[in-house]
Amino acid sequence: MKSFKLINKDANTKARRGVLTTGHGQIQTPVFMPVGTAGAIKGTTPAMVEQTGAEIILANTYHMMIRPGVETVEKIGGLHKMMAWNKPILTDSGGYQVFSLNSLVKTDDDGVVFASHVDGTKYEMNAEIATDIQNRLGGDIIMCFDQCAPYPCEKSQLEQAMERSIRWAMRCKNAHANDKQLLFGIVQGGTDLEMRTHCTRELVKMNFPGYALGGLSVGEGHEKMIKTVAHTTIELPEDRPRYLMGVGTPLDIVQAVNHGIDMFDCVMPTRNGRNAYAFTEQGPVRLRNSCHSTDTEPIEQNCDCYCCRNFSRAALRHFFNVGEMLGPIMVSLHNTRFYQRLMAKIRDSIEKNEFSQFVAEKTEKYRIFNN
């Protein structure tokens, strides 16, 4: 039985409405996944996150490996038990963090040796190790170990990373030992469209249950990212979910759905929330601004989140000014709900074959979030 079912394809765009079935339940797509880097969605409880409408969350293999360690996670009952989350969880492979956070000691075709960003301890990571760790953590969707090249970089460096990612994907597939998990391949190649085509075709031959686009939202800008997405999704099979990793702003999401992407994750809702930046349909609200000092309105009039039902902008500004943790918690909650409301509107418009109108309405409106 296939894990992904298409319900509807928008008549005028590449947007898709689907259902992804996992070991911990179904996920309605397109979907946005809140990020719990170290095993928790910062500033929120699992119950709060669930109330926003989130159906799946993300945890980070690299951070789990460094602290508390995969053995500890196993001893306390696995990732779902540790995170107190009984719905689907996706774990990334740790490849992005290995190549971006650390002092690499050695990188070759076998894998990498790197020094921990916490205490300098040396670790080895390769396709087999990354897959084994994710098998043991117990997430519902796991990712192949890949090499994410920096942006910009020399074409030879980009090509080497892309070719390694292809070879490592096959090794991950061979090492994968938990049939309750869906292993996704990751397409690399930067913004080089020929490399994206080559990488995609090689991964599709391996017949993964889902495919991700990695190596984007790393500085190339919105237009180049969407051009790369539009080019790549054409090469991907229609009956498998497509995941754009680490993206993004509301505009990024709407435009990527327009070109056939089904899954997203990003730290923006909670990271911005902790910094008094709120997402609204009218644009960003910066709650530290003095104009909110006596503002009795909620962050957003038509939002049904706990924050908007109970707190004024003035109260939230006060909490930030005095260092009260309730401020970051509440704005993170609002932002997470904003993203889930956005995804619900996207799904509804696709079902009604109205997504082209939705894109036209939101593109200019949401451009402010990319400035």
Looking at residue 27, what is its pLDDT?
Answer: 98
Under 8 Å CB-to-CB from 85, ≥6 apart: which residues?
46, 49, 50, 57
Examine the pLDDT at 111 and tell me if it is beyond 70: yes
Catalytic residue among 92, 140, 146, 262: 92
Counting other chains too, the contacts that 225-230 makes at CB distance below 8 Å and 24 or more residues apart are 225/191, 225/252, 226/252, 226/255, 226/256, 226/259, 227/191, 227/193, 228/190, 228/191, 228/193, 228/196, 229/255, 229/256, 229/259, 229/261, 230/14, 230/259
Examine the pLDDT at 105 and tell me if it is beyond 80: no
273 and 259 Cβ atoms separated by less than 8 Å = no
The alpha carbon torsion through 114, 115, 121, 123 (nearest 10 deg) reads -10
Residue 117: pLDDT band with limits 50, 70, 90: confident
Q: Residue with structure tokens 């696709």?
A: 350
92 and 61 Cβ atoms separated by less than 8 Å = yes
Catalytic residue among 146, 179, 265, 348: 265
Most confident range (mean pLDDT) of 67-71, 106-110, 113-117 is 67-71
316 and 288 Cβ atoms separated by less than 8 Å = no
- pLDDT, tens digit, for every residue of 67-93? 999 999 999 999 999 999 999 999 999
**Phi–psi pair at 191, nearest 5 degrees:** -100, 15
Q: What is the mean pLDDT of residues 31-36?
A: 98
- pLDDT, tens digit, for every residue of 250-304? 999 999 999 999 999 999 999 999 999 999 999 999 999 999 999 999 999 999 9
Residue 336: pLDDT band with limits 50, 70, 90: very high
Residue 102: pLDDT band with limits 50, 70, 90: low
So where are the chain's domains?
4-273
- pLDDT, tens digit, for every residue of 162-213? 999 999 999 999 999 999 999 999 999 999 999 999 999 999 999 999 999 9
Share the mean pLDDT of the chain: 96
- pLDDT, tens digit, for every residue of 126-146? 999 999 999 999 999 999 999
In the residue annotation, 92 being an active-site residue is answered as yes
Q: What is the CA radius of gyration of the chain?
A: 20
pTM > 0.75:
yes
In the residue annotation, 265 being an active-site residue is answered as yes
Quote the DSSP letter at residue 104: E
CA distances from 110 to 106, 113, 137, 150 (A): 10, 10, 23, 20
Class level of CATH domain 4-273: alpha beta
Residues in the chain, total: 371
Examine the pLDDT at 1 and tell me if it is beyond 70: no
Examine the pLDDT at 21 and tell me if it is beyond 80: yes
